[in-house]
Amino acid sequence: MRKRKREKEREREKEGERKKERERERESERKKEREREKERERKRERKRGRERKKQREKEREKERKREKEGDR
């Protein structure tokens, strides 16, 4: 009787440890996914910045052409 009770108790402890381990793994995956998402967002921002810069350069170029046309 006592032996069976001890075995059940050990089984519960093992199950608790397994549960904690699974939770740690899930949390680790969530953390990695958050980092990947942050990196994707940084890349998007850099791309937007480059596109804005190109657009500004095009606008400046148009403005220069207009000024040259006005001088003639």
Structure confidence by residue, pLDDT tens digits, 33-46: 999 999 999 999 99
Specify the pLDDT at position 70. Answer: 79
Residue 3 CB neighbours (<10 A): 7
C-alpha–C-alpha distance, residues 28 and 51, integer Å: 35
The residue segments making up the domain with residue 55 are: 1-72
Q: Count how many domains the chain has.
A: 1
Instruction: Please give the distance of CA 52 from its chain centroid, rounded to a whole number.
Output: 23
Average confidence (pLDDT) over 46-69: 94
**Look-up of token digits 């095009």:** 58
Specify the pLDDT at position 5. Answer: 86
Per the prediction, the chain carries an average pLDDT of 93
